[in-house]
Structure 1
Amino acid sequence: MTKYTIQIPNPCTENWNTMTPTERGKFCSNCKKEVINYQYYSNNQLFKSLNNDEKICGRFSPYQINIELKATKTNPLYQLGLFLGFSSLLLSTPVYSQNGKSKMEIVESKSDDELKQKSSDEFVEFYGKIIGKATTGNENSYSIQGVNIVQKSTKNSVQSNFDGDFKIKIPLEDFRDEVTLVFNYIGMETKEVKLSTTKNHLKIEMIVSNVLMGEVVIVKYKKRNIFTRIGKVFKKNTTH
């Protein structure tokens, strides 16, 4: 079975967040290449995507580098069992109990429309701007569009606009406890900010997460099976 590891001998230092978005990642204007974002690929997806000899520039999480990659095979007997089980469901006749009654649990929850019906006095409105923090001396800060901003432990969420600005309403009653906003964006470290009703203008700085980017080098090798090993030992002994 062929296996391989991914290596990036010369990591790239270009700013990922200033590159032009593409279908599979971003385009680097400096080296004129598409940088494919593999950061959230599984090991099996990496194996299938990179198991070729073409030159690829990619972006990876540290745990994806220098590890053994191999294809995951599905047991044929397991697949047969799934097929037979699915077939039996199609062929079987449903049986209904005359005495059994289905139980339905009704859970009350407040919808977005109900929240909108509240008066402005029942909300605290927060405004803010999200920027990418410069990590080197020759790099400027930049606005980040599309950051997910979520009120922790709720479904209350918004996204930053083209200029990195956002606005979010927090129910006043939520401030009986601690209120926290979570800022999440691919390629950036997640940030949590505790809110106070006395400060509703926020400046959020996010930094690039610990990722590796650069031209991919694939190191392939084959695992020797027991028969190959025995054959080599036999050949060695017969040459003496």
Structure 2
Amino acid sequence: MKEPLNISIPKPCTQSWADMSATTGGKYCSSCQQEVKDFTSMNGFEIQQWFQLHQTGKTCGRFHENQMPALLTDLDKINPSTFLSLKVFLFSLLTFPLSLKSAQHQVKSKVPLTISPIYNSMAPEFTEIKDNSDSTKILKGVIVDGKEPLVGAMVMIKETKLKTHTDKDGKFELDLSSLETDSKAVIRVAYLGYEFKEEKLNLKNLKPLRIIMTDFQCLMGEVVIKKSSSNLFKRIIRGL
């Protein structure tokens, strides 16, 4: 296993993420003339894997502020009980195939199973399902990030099971015909890396919505990576 990397941004960038043009892996910064990789949707393990494969060349990245401390665990501060739990877990994984093989040998014989057909004299009844949705209660809208539409944003009505996701153009439609006209409906929009947005709805007079999302406080700039001197996995294996 490769040593984990210590990832940091010593000199954060002050450019506006919303003003950059979208690319496949993030956005293009016209100031530094290169792509800014968006890591906000990745966990620590995925970020480590990415940089293990891309250690050459200059990388500009965008992270949540709370992602940076979690990218590399301080091994000296880990509670000893944590190591014990991990050791037990790894030992169980190693011995499980042997236990499974032993259990298979203990099966002596198969018990024949007789299945008798069950006859039902009652014929099934089918009911035609009609579309009773009220077109006046179809909520439509678009979710954007500054200038760009957000694809796959979750749109839901609070305290209900009504939800949908935006399409490739950031648009959505949500059928609210199951709600009472005088109910206090609140729409909630969620997208990874952005703050939640909520807005009260007037079910008597639904109008198309245009919701602009605001991203969380993020850290952006050139990434500096250093190899860590410790490896958690090696310390666990060494103690088995």
- TM beyond 0.5: yes
Counterpart for residue 78 of structure 2:
none
1:120 maps onto 2:120 in alignment = no
For 1:56 and 1:89, locate their aligned partners in 2 and report how far apart those are by CA, in whole Å.
52
Q: Distance in 2 between matches of 1:223 and 1:119?
A: 60
Write the distance in 2 (CA, Å) between the matches of 1:178 and 1:17: 36
* TM-score, reference length from structure 1: 0.62
3-state SS in 1 of match to 2:194: coil
2:173 maps to which residue?
Answer: 167
Of 60, 64, 87, the match for 1:61:
64
After superposition, residues 72-221 of structure 1 pair within 5 angstroms as 75=87, 77-87=91-101, 93=107, 117-120=131-134, 124-132=137-145, 141-146=146-151, 147-152=153-158, 153-160=160-167, 162=169, 164-175=170-181, 177-201=183-207, 202-221=209-228
Displacement of 1:154? 0.8
The aligned counterpart of 2:117 is none
1:105-134 C-alpha deviation (Å, 9 max, x unpaired):
xxxxxxxx96x711427x6122333333xx
Say if 1:131 and 1:206, in contact at 8 Å, map to a contact too. Answer: yes
Count matched residues: 197
Q: State the one-letter code of the partner of 1:21.
A: T
Percent of aligned pairs with the same amino acid: 23
Deviations 1:167-218 (A, max 9, x none): 3220243556532222122332121223221341233221122222221112
RMSD: 4.0
Q: Report the equivalent of 1:109.
A: none
SS in 1 for 2:98: helix
The residue identity in structure 2 corresponding to 1:60 is F
Instruction: Structure 2: state its 5+ residue gaps.
Output: 76-82, 114-127, 232-240
Correspondence 1:221-232 to 2 at 5 A = 221-223=228-230
SS in 1 for 2:199: strand
Q: Distance in 1 between matches of 2:185 and 2:96?
A: 47
TM-score by length of 2: 0.62
- d(CA) in 1 for partners of 2:215, 2:225: 26
